[in-house]
Chains A and B, each alone.
Chain A
Amino acid sequence: SQTIHQWPATLVQPVGSPLSLECTVEGTSNPNLYWYRQAAGRGLQLLFYSVGIGQISSEVPQNLSASRPQDRQFILSSKKLLLSDSGFYLCAWSAVAGGNQPQHFGDGTRLSIL
């Protein structure tokens, strides 16, 4: 069966520090991968998605970036964090299979910027 892992589960970082969140998927090949941010009590904001290694689409311009160095690895990064980067970050995957496939989410990373 397929599983998705995100780490760390929680992270407290000072303003201006760098960020690296990692997501890996097991049990499937060539998945679509997604990064979302969820503000407290609000919906899901798509940040990045990837349909293959090295292929990244950005939905919202900001100081975050994403990379996909391996087929089942998706990394969310920042060189300098802002207070507004606080939130709950979720990684998700879906099978390519011609569309109409559900997204499956990890358990997220709670990021607090001080």
Chain B
Amino acid sequence: GENVEQHPSTLSVQEGDSAVIKCTYSDSASNYFPWYKQELGKGPQLIIDIRSNVGEKKDQRIAVTLNKTAKHFSLHITETQPEDSAVYFCAASFGNQFYFGTGTSLTVIP
């Protein structure tokens, strides 16, 4: 089955700096890659996603890149703000199946 690895597990950045979270996947059949943000005590919320026919997608301060050949994808957050502090999860999907990374705890230091 699919195996998704996510790095780093924890990340601290100064407010205003950029944050990058990286994920790799093993199954070349995976063709959909969502990213989720989870705040304490709440469920994960979708923040951005990318499909395998696209190499990059951007939504304001958030961007995701996908390298199908290398089987890795990354989340980029620019101009970080304290409210970006949360746990972020990547996922790889094919059909109805979703495989999640183990999460990155991001702390933005004011």
Contacts and interface: CB of A to CB of B under 8 A. Distances in A.
Interface stretch (B12-20, B43-51, B64-72, B75-83): B43-51
A15 B102 CA distance: 28
B110 interface: no
Interface residues of B, number: 23
B32 A43 contact: no
Nearest to A57: B96
B101 A43 contact: yes
Mostly, the A contact residues are strand
Contacts, number: 51
Given A99-B94, A99-B96, A100-B32, A105 B43 contact: yes
Interface residues of A, number: 23
Interface in B79-110: 89, 91, 93-96, 98, 100-103
A33 to B, nearest CB: 10
Contact of B42 (A42, A46, A104, A108): A108
A49 B96 contact: yes
Contacts of B100: 43-44
The 4 closest A-B pairs by CB, nearest first: A105-B43, A43-B102, A100-B32, A99-B95
Interface of B: 31-32, 34, 36, 41-46, 49, 51, 89, 91, 93-96, 98, 100-103
